[in-house]
Chains A and B, each alone.
Chain A
Amino acid sequence: AQSVTQLGSHVSVSEGALVLLRCNYSSSVPPYLFWYVQYPNQGLQLLLKYTTGATLVKGINGFEAEFKKSETSFHLTKPSAHMSDAAEYFCAVRKETSGSRLTFGEGTQLTVNP
């Protein structure tokens, strides 16, 4: 079985500070990993994904994540937070099966303080 754990249901940073949202996964097979963002009253939007190849993945809005197999982690970072980054962020994992479900973490609510 595969699962995703997001450490910290709420993270608060100051504008301009580093954003670090943690995600660890457990999977019996090499996973495909995703980060989605949900702005208030909107659906989820893909930020970035790791499939194969380069372990450092760059996404939209200046976010990036690094796949570390030895640590079973896929943490999301952004060097400098912006007020518009305030949202809920979800880490997700999918097995190597075409079209199969995504398993999501419980989400991390990011607050950016002025």
Chain B
Amino acid sequence: GAGVSQSPSNKVTEKGKDVELRCDPISGHTALYWYRQSLGQGLEFLIYFQGNSAPDKSGLPSDRFSAERTGGSVSTLTIQRTQQEDSAVYLCASSLVASGGPTGELFFGEGSRLTVL
């Protein structure tokens, strides 16, 4: 696709349920990032995938959070046993690291808004 696609755009769930958020990056982009944006706060880094390297999971807030990236393309962020504090907008971004290097631009999706009741 032309841009980073995320689904669902909105998700309302009950406390304790599991949720899956999907990110489809720009074709050919080797790097993929997940960030969380909570009301009144900046963007919190969650996880980063780069090619076949082991992902950088250092930003995941708890073991209830996990993510995978299949075939170097689509990524799924899973939150188990959701809590109310998980309510936020989850943003996915991709970049073309090979040519962009450390200066490469991140292209963001529109985010998935998660509300935990």
Given B41, B97, B109, which contacts A43 in the complex, CB threshold below 8 Å? Answer: B109
- B102/A98 in contact, CB under 8 A: yes
Known: A32-B102, A43-B4, A51-B103. A101 touches B108 (CB 8 A): no
Given A45, A97, A101, A107, which contacts B42 in the complex, CB threshold below 8 Å? Answer: A107
Known: A104-B42, A107-B42. A99 touches B108 (CB 8 A): no
- Which applies to chain A's interface (DSSP): helix, strand, loop or mixed? loop
- B102/A100 in contact, CB under 8 A: yes
Sorting the interface of chain B by its residue count into under 10, 10 to 19, 20 to 34 or 35 or more gives 20 to 34
Query: How many chain A residues touch B (Cβ–Cβ < 8 Å)?
Result: 27
Given B30, B31, B48, B106, which contacts A46 in the complex, CB threshold below 8 Å? Answer: B106
Q: Give the nearest-CB partner of A43 in chain B.
A: B108
Distance in angstroms between the alpha carbons of A49 and B111 in the assembled complex: 23
Given B30, B56, B103, which contacts A49 in the complex, CB threshold below 8 Å? Answer: B103
Q: Give the nearest-CB partner of A97 in chain B.
A: B102
Q: Give the nearest-CB partner of A101 in chain B.
A: B45
Residue in B43, B104, B108 whose Cβ sees the most chain A Cβ within 10 Å: B43
B77 at the interface (CB under 8 A from A): no
Distance in angstroms between the alpha carbons of A27 and B59 in the assembled complex: 19
- B56/A42 in contact, CB under 8 A: no
Chain A: residues with CB nearer than 8 A to chain B? 6, 9, 32, 36, 41-46, 49, 51, 90, 94-107
Q: List 30 A-B contacts (CB under 8 A).
A: A6-B42, A9-B40, A36-B108, A41-B110, A43-B91, A43-B93, A43-B107, A43-B110, A44-B43, A44-B91, A44-B93, A44-B108, A49-B103, A49-B105, A51-B102, A51-B103, A90-B42, A90-B43, A96-B102, A99-B30, A99-B48, A99-B95, A99-B104, A100-B56, A100-B102, A101-B56, A101-B59, A104-B43, A105-B42, A107-B43
